Amino acid sequence: MAKYVYNFGKDGTDGDATMKNLLGGKGANLAEMAKIGLPVPSGFTITTEVCTYFYEHGQQYPPELEAQVNEAMAAIEKTMGKKFGDHKDMPLLVSCRSGARESMPGMMDTVLNIGLNDRTVEVLAKESQDERFAWDCYRRFVQMYGDVVLDMKPKTKTDIDPFEELLEKKKEKAGVKEDSELKPEHLKELVKEFKAAVKKQTGKDFPDDPMEQVWGGIGAVFGSWMNDRAMVYRRMNGIPHDWGTAVNVQAMVFGNMGETCATGVALTRNGATGVKGITGDYLINAQGEDVVAGIRMPKRIEESLKKDMPTSWEEFSKVAMILENHYKDIQDIEFTIEKQKLWMLQTRNAKRTGFAAVRAAVDMVNEGLITPEMAIARIPANDVTQLLQPVFGGTGLKGKTPIAKGINAGPGAATGQIYFQPDEAEAAWQKDNAARIILVRRETTPEDLRGMKVASGILTSFGGAASHAALVSRQMGKACVCGCESIGIDYKAETMTVGKKVFKKGDWISVDGFTGNVYEGEVPTSPSEILQVLFEKSLKPKDAPLYQCFQQLMSWSDRFRKLGVRTNADNPKESEQAIALGAEGIGLTRTEHMFFDRIDDFRAMILAETVEAREKALKPLLKYQQEDFEGIFRAMKGRPVTIRLLDPPLHEFVPHESKDQEELAKKLGIPKAKVAQRVHELAEANPMLGHRGCRLGIVYPEITRMQATAICQAAVHVMKEGIDCHPEIMIPLVGNITEYRNQEKIIREAATKVFKDAGVTADYLVGTMIEIPRACVTADKIAESAEFFSFGTNDLTQTGLGISRDDYGSFINQYQEMDVFPADPFQTLDQDGVGGLMKIAVEKGKSTRSDIKLGICGEHGGDPASVKFCHKIGLNYVSCSPLRLPVARLAAAQAAISEKKEKTDKKAEGKCGCGCCKDCKCCPCCKCGCKG
Ligand code: PEP
Ligand code: MG
């Protein structure tokens, strides 16, 4: 019989930490904690397979599930020594929580205190000798169950939450401000009123039967897998929708049974900075949700738990270290102290910023806890870009005094306009993607996710370092200041008040997630510590601890990676910066970018009517280009430099406004009508598929000749200075070998002439961009002449998918929302389609020229998933913009490490695929070369 339910607790645990796919992260880690003897309230996990079944069978459960759940409930009762629904002794209450493979903090539903009804609440009151506690649990339970299971949560901003409305009325009537000031009789009345509200809204009585309540909770958690915010979160984080969630049903323990009780969340190292030491929030006499929801202002564990509860602190800090050493990673722990007894409710690898990820991983290697491979493998490659982001500081902050200070929950510097409502923030961003937004909220909840996503920074007046705002913004890499108590927020008036100063929606503020400071107005930023060391040289490495960690990580990455990393750079400054960030060469210089500074000379060439006139107009351009190339060659100091010949349609360079045409005509001494006529002639209905790329060089060979001459003259000039040069001349948009040969001939003739005249020969290559499907499928032919291929995946995506790279913005958001595309194909390579074309080109290219040099220079060269794909299909290098180089280096190392691991795993399983025998375990004796 299929097993759908796995028990955990001190009397027997079925699962362990390796079973995340089946038990979800929470379930697998609860099992692991119970297995290593930590105090975990007993419970059971319903597997993710049930979730899949649930959605595949019209929200029905497998028939075997009911009996397995009943059996598991009985096991909890036995271990905890309490009965579910007990009317005589202390009743067992349970919680019902989600738990996906990857944690999705706050995105799905939870129900606490299941098992309470009018009879069990009385026993709870008697046994706990705390009537208020019992009725507060009951009140919370009815409210939570109503919201989550009975779907009474308000759907829009203007909907009224019936429970909140009743609660407010009750407080008003009782003359109190806080929920905690309500007396047992108020809570009793509230429960009655809440139940009446349930009846009114749903037409049904609130369920009294504890088992019916459990099934309600289970259904709600599975149902929440498909709620809007969970789907948005999965899309943002690349979590497949078909993974499903597990459900964890667990005995309740209480942090709200008086002053010897507490509940909290803690990290074993700081999730914002990575610095070692427990940090976190706790509340005395409270239930877990209060801490993360930011409803009451929590206390800092590192500041006061030791003083408030010395024995529990000691036990807790020991357990926290056991967990970190066991998992060898920063742990994010939820715990409850019930009458001084510590209970562990959850542990998981902590969400962290890029800063914390790098710092903690490097520290852990230096502490001997993990290996460099493990450090590399665990850092999301994209996150290292956070370390290069600008910060406030230097002159930017001169004369500025912070207007408020909160908790520095997400490092980074952000300046933007205040928005209070997430949906308005999202709408503003959709109107203008460059809009800079600071989302200002009292606290954030998972519903705010869409607004947080588009904000540059987040500011909350409530909630600590473990609040939802802190957690999520850290993961998104957004600057976040939370718990900034000195700001008053009025959503209705759309104002934020600090002292006497009132800020309105749209006003500019700045938040510093490193220090927790908030500033009025826009604050200019300065470069990150790493760029101050590497680019500006204004900071010495020894004074820059973050730089040291970064550098350590990069040097490990370089040790493991097999892929080369190059940069896309168009001038000496970019080239130097790229070398500082690890570039081993240039993978793409777009020569047209060099014309922008000499646009009128270039326009004169375009307007020339005869070959002679064009050649004359090309002369000054040759001089400029040669100077530019010399600068790049000097900066690259002998590293290979791939220079692409002119690519864009000429129409992009001519003036389109009548006024500008008139000015140009005057400068060139020709009639304006002539300029206008040429502009008209150059116009194309679909310029991206028009007269561009090698088609320009074929129709105007003198342009190719000029560029090849400039490259070769620059090379010999620089070589005469004693600097080595390795130009790689690249022909764009080739689809046919005849196009390639046409251009190659011009290039080689120009090179031969230059070298002969100079008496110096540069070691140069001629190759092509592979960016249209025909080039891929005829790559064997093209490789007869081409010495290298560089995949131009921007155009290959455009032409392969038939989607205009300039026009896809109008539908891509919807495509992603509807899961038509898993990701933006212009950012992350479409591996099946475009990747398939690349594989064909690699195979065919190598079949003709086994040592053909293969690279990528489209935007995908800096995208981690795409870099890993490039490693897999055997490219020699990836090329990306300078600031993406650390991402590429790390992703390339990750690809190499995971390939090695895959091979080792396969060998261990006897599936190394050497094909020499049925069971590869005998590999040592054969000659398959797999070194089994
Ligand atoms: C490409 O098409 O991927 C490429 C690098 O060239 P461009 O973006 O200049 O067309
Ligand atoms: Mg291109």
Tens digits of residue pLDDT in 247-264: 999 999 999 888 899 999
Residue 51 has pLDDT above 90, yes or no: yes
Mean pLDDT, all residues of the chain: 91
Please work out whether the CB of residue 795 comes within 6 Å of at least one atom of ligand 1.
yes
Residue 407 has pLDDT above 70, yes or no: yes
In this structure, are strands 245-251 and 43-46 parallel, antiparallel, or unpaired? antiparallel
Single-letter amino acid code for the residue at 385: T
Q: What is the residue with the minimal CA distance to atom 1 of ligand 1? A: 792
pLDDT at residue number 924: 47
The CA distances from residue 543 to 357, 540, 899, in Å, are 20, 5, 37
Atom in ligand 1 nearest the alpha carbon of residue 798: 2
pLDDT at residue number 813: 76
Q: What is the residue with the minimal CA distance to atom 4 of ligand 1? A: 792
Distance (Å, whole) CA 510 – CA 413: 7
Catalytic residue among 468, 651, 860, 871: 468
Structure tokens belonging to residue 701: 């060979």
Of 794, 809, 835, 865, the closest CA to residue 568 belongs to: 794
Return phi, psi of residue 809, to 5°: -60, -25
Lowest average pLDDT, out of 128-142, 586-600, 688-702, goes to 586-600
The CA distances from residue 35 to 3, 17, 29, 317, in Å, are 19, 10, 9, 19
pLDDT at residue number 526: 80
855 alpha carbon – ligand 1 mean position (Å): 13
658 alpha carbon – ligand 1 mean position (Å): 30
Please work out whether the CB of residue 880 comes within 6 Å of at least one atom of ligand 1.
no
pLDDT at residue number 561: 98
857 is catalytic: yes
644 alpha carbon – ligand 1 mean position (Å): 10
Size of the chain, expressed as the number of residues it contains: 932
Atom in ligand 1 nearest the alpha carbon of residue 859: 3
CB 436 within 8 A of CB 415: yes
Angle at 793 between CA 788 and CA 794, to 5 degrees: 130
Distance (Å, whole) CA 324 – CA 876: 38
779 alpha carbon – ligand 1 mean position (Å): 18
Distance (Å, whole) CA 157 – CA 155: 7
123 alpha carbon – ligand 1 mean position (Å): 72
Confidence category of residue 445, pLDDT binned at 50, 70, 90: confident
214: number of CA atoms within 13 Å, CB side? Answer: 24
Of 96, 130, 99, the closest CA to residue 113 belongs to: 96
pLDDT at residue number 294: 56
Neighbours of 396 (CB within 10 A): 18
pLDDT at residue number 178: 80
788 alpha carbon – ligand 1 mean position (Å): 16
Please work out whether the CB of residue 570 comes within 6 Å of at least one atom of ligand 1.
no
Give the ligand whose atoms come closest to the C-alpha of residue 797: 1
Share of the chain above pLDDT 90, in %: 73
pLDDT at residue number 418: 97
Please work out whether the CB of residue 800 comes within 6 Å of at least one atom of ligand 1.
no
Residue 307 has pLDDT above 70, yes or no: yes
841 alpha carbon – ligand 1 mean position (Å): 17
790 alpha carbon – ligand 2 mean position (Å): 10
Lowest average pLDDT, out of 316-330, 466-480, 484-498, 608-622, goes to 466-480
pLDDT at residue number 926: 47
Give the ligand whose atoms come closest to the C-alpha of residue 588: 1
Please work out whether the CB of residue 771 comes within 6 Å of at least one atom of ligand 1.
yes
Confidence category of residue 609, pLDDT binned at 50, 70, 90: confident
Residue 4 has pLDDT above 70, yes or no: yes
pLDDT 10s digits, 351-373: 898 999 999 999 999 999 999 99
Please work out whether the CB of residue 794 comes within 6 Å of at least one atom of ligand 1.
yes
In this structure, are strands 457-460 and 437-441 parallel, antiparallel, or unpaired? parallel
- What 3-state class would DSSP assign to 439? strand
Neighbours of 756 (CB within 10 A): 10
Distance (Å, whole) CA 426 – CA 450: 7
CB 477 within 8 A of CB 451: no
Of 647, 734, 803, 863, which is best to mutate to test ligand 1, by the most ligand atoms within 8 angstroms of its C-beta?
Answer: 647
Of 566, 568, 570, 590, which is best to mutate to test ligand 1, by the most ligand atoms within 8 angstroms of its C-beta?
Answer: 590
617 alpha carbon – ligand 1 mean position (Å): 27
836 alpha carbon – ligand 1 mean position (Å): 18
Distance (Å, whole) CA 442 – CA 297: 12
Q: What is the mean pLDDT of residues 275-290?
A: 88
pLDDT 10s digits, 203-242: 999 999 999 999 999 999 999 999 888 998 888 888 888 8
Distance (Å, whole) CA 332 – CA 473: 16
Single-letter amino acid code for the residue at 443: E
Residue 682 has pLDDT above 80, yes or no: yes
Neighbours of 659 (CB within 10 A): 8
Of 768, 771, 838, which is best to mutate to test ligand 1, by the most ligand atoms within 8 angstroms of its C-beta?
Answer: 771
Catalytic residue among 484, 857, 912, 923: 857
Please work out whether the CB of residue 592 comes within 6 Å of at least one atom of ligand 1.
no
Q: What is the mean pLDDT of residues 598-603?
A: 88
pLDDT 10s digits, 758-801: 999 999 999 999 999 999 999 999 999 999 999 999 999 999 99
Give the ligand whose atoms come closest to the C-alpha of residue 733: 2
Q: What is the residue with the minimal CA distance to atom 9 of ligand 1? A: 590
Single-letter amino acid code for the residue at 518: V
Of 795, 798, 859, which is best to mutate to test ligand 1, by the most ligand atoms within 8 angstroms of its C-beta?
Answer: 795
Please work out whether the CB of residue 590 comes within 6 Å of at least one atom of ligand 1.
yes
Structure tokens belonging to residue 409: 């929950």
Lowest average pLDDT, out of 96-110, 328-342, 847-861, goes to 96-110
For residue 854, the Cα-to-chain-centroid distance in whole angstroms is: 28
Residue 885 has pLDDT above 50, yes or no: yes
Q: What is the residue with the minimal CA distance to atom 6 of ligand 1? A: 792
Please work out whether the CB of residue 858 comes within 6 Å of at least one atom of ligand 1.
yes
CB 297 within 8 A of CB 464: yes
Residues 6+ away with beta carbon under 8 Å from 875: 563, 791, 842, 854, 855, 856
pLDDT at residue number 916: 52
pLDDT 10s digits, 619-676: 999 999 999 999 999 999 999 999 999 999 998 888 888 998 999 999 999 999 999 9
Please work out whether the CB of residue 647 comes within 6 Å of at least one atom of ligand 1.
yes
pLDDT at residue number 931: 46
pLDDT at residue number 295: 61
Q: Which stretches of 387-465 are DSSP H helices? A: 422-431, 449-454
Give the ligand whose atoms come closest to the C-alpha of residue 568: 1
Distance (Å, whole) CA 467 – CA 459: 12
Best-predicted range by mean pLDDT (165-174, 272-281, 522-531, 885-894): 885-894
Distance (Å, whole) CA 539 – CA 229: 43
pLDDT at residue number 473: 73
Single-letter amino acid code for the residue at 726: H
Confidence category of residue 747, pLDDT binned at 50, 70, 90: very high
Q: What is the pTM of this model?
A: 0.84
Residue 756 has pLDDT above 50, yes or no: yes
Atom in ligand 1 nearest the alpha carbon of residue 790: 5
